[in-house]
Amino acid sequence: MLTPAQALKSILQRVGPLEAERVPLLDAVDRVLAEPVVADRLLPAWDNSAMDGYAVRHADLLRGGALPVVGEIAAGCTDEIPLPPGKALRIFTGAAMPPGADTVLMQEDAQVGEAGLVATELPAPGANIRKAGSDVQPGQTVIEPGRPLTPGDVGLLAALGRSQVTVVRRPVVAIVSTGDELRPIDAAELARGQIRNSNAWMLAAAVKALGGVPRIVPVVPDDRDAVDQALFHATRADALLTTGGVSVGDHDHVGHALRELAGPDFAFWKVAIKPGKPLLFCTVGHCAVFGLPGNPVSAGVTFELFARPALLRLMGHTRVVRRAVPAVLDAPLPGAKGRQIYARATLREVDGALHVDPSRTQSSGALSSLAAADCLVITPPNTPAKGAGEAVQVLRLDVDDRVAP
């Protein structure tokens, strides 16, 4: 069996960013930029006032005496109003500076009477002016490719007149659940031995939360021909998540089918973790395929540890794995033997330190343990049990703090 680190390395060596596409600006938020953004204009386009106040010549202020206020310029005014010598113009934040003015006197530092404007606090020459091109120059690369776009980036792109932007395409992720016991989630009644197909919806939600495009395939029965057909068609997607059928039972057909589909591109089956040991990964053509266990907690944990980083890589991200952080146990934690254990738990903060409580059922079939968890506590293999107050490492599920692998 592979260690978790070996399995993740094998996966990430086999997946890379998808091709680029042009999208409307708002659709690009959190998407990875696929080409450099080079400015084609000055920002700001012209000298403008950074404050509400008065446009003046600094030399006129130095001479002392009152300056008559002979007009005003508001933001959005397109008229070019020159400043006569020895005069002042009322000006507002964002308004274009008038020809002849070289300083803005803030209104807080001014008094205006019948004789005109008097400075109560003398500004420095050139104060309170945003110079043309002081932010961005033509030909300047303002956003480098390879990082997700933030709302601030969107604002900059809008200021540059970019209504569309080139980003890495979102992956389409097919989700195939197999099992004669599975029924739709809105089934009115369940017969003995039947369960609702919760795994598909859990995984679809996880894909959507990442920014991918989930496609839930109707449940596939435990029939080899049906499994072969469903998987063949599903591998037309960018990625495929299957749940169930990857173990060694008489009705487990997914693993066998994927071995045949992948051929030499079959990567591995089984990872030394708990829950989730029967994890399968391969590639079929361009499709990255994850055979996840059928137990819901195992499916959720293996998605988090292995499929999630791969999907992020497909979307062009370089930081794809959650950062492990220290925490203090609030309750005892069992040790681990030959496999690395990921226990579901909840966090709280005490005096700036994270405390973690893993005291809940850790059954791989107990969905409630995953639904209520905001972290996974890592217990490396061959680690003895720990008591309350001891230190552990956790992966936080409630924050998106990622690092490069």
267 CB neighbour count, 10 Å cutoff? 17
| pLDDT of amino acid 195 | 86
| pLDDT of amino acid 362 | 83
| pLDDT of amino acid 307 | 98
Query: Percentage of residues in the chain with pLDDT exceeding 90?
Result: 89
For residues 103 and 54, what is the distance between their CA atoms, to the nearest angstrom? 8
| pLDDT of amino acid 208 | 97
Confidence of residue 257 (pLDDT cuts 50, 70, 90): very high
Identify the CATH number of the domain defined by range 322-403.
Answer: 2.40.340.10
* Residue 247 reports pLDDT greater than 80: no
Identify the CATH number of the domain defined by range 21-42+145-168.
Answer: 3.90.105.10
Identify the CATH number of the domain defined by range 4-18+170-317.
Answer: 3.40.980.10
pLDDT in tens, 75-132: 999 999 999 999 999 999 999 999 999 999 999 999 999 999 999 999 999 999 999 9
Confidence of residue 366 (pLDDT cuts 50, 70, 90): confident
Question: Tell me, what amino acid is at 340?
Answer: Q
CATH architecture designation of domain 48-130: Beta Complex (2.170)
Interior/surface letters 190-226, b for 16+ CB within 10 angstroms, e for the rest: eeeeeeebebbebbbebbeebbbebebbebbebeeee
* Residue 349 reports pLDDT greater than 70: yes
Q: Which is higher by pLDDT, 179 or 216?
A: 216
Cα angle for residues 315, 312, 280 (degrees, 5° grid): 120
**Mean of all residue pLDDT scores within the chain:** 95
* Residue 363 reports pLDDT greater than 90: no
* Residue 11 reports pLDDT greater than 80: yes
* Residue 248 reports pLDDT greater than 80: no
- The full set of domain ranges for the chain reads 4-18+170-317, 21-42+145-168, 48-130, 322-403
User: What's the average model confidence in pLDDT over 169-196?
Assistant: 91
| pLDDT of amino acid 251 | 62
What are φ and ψ of residue 94, in 5° steps?
90, -10
| pLDDT of amino acid 86 | 96
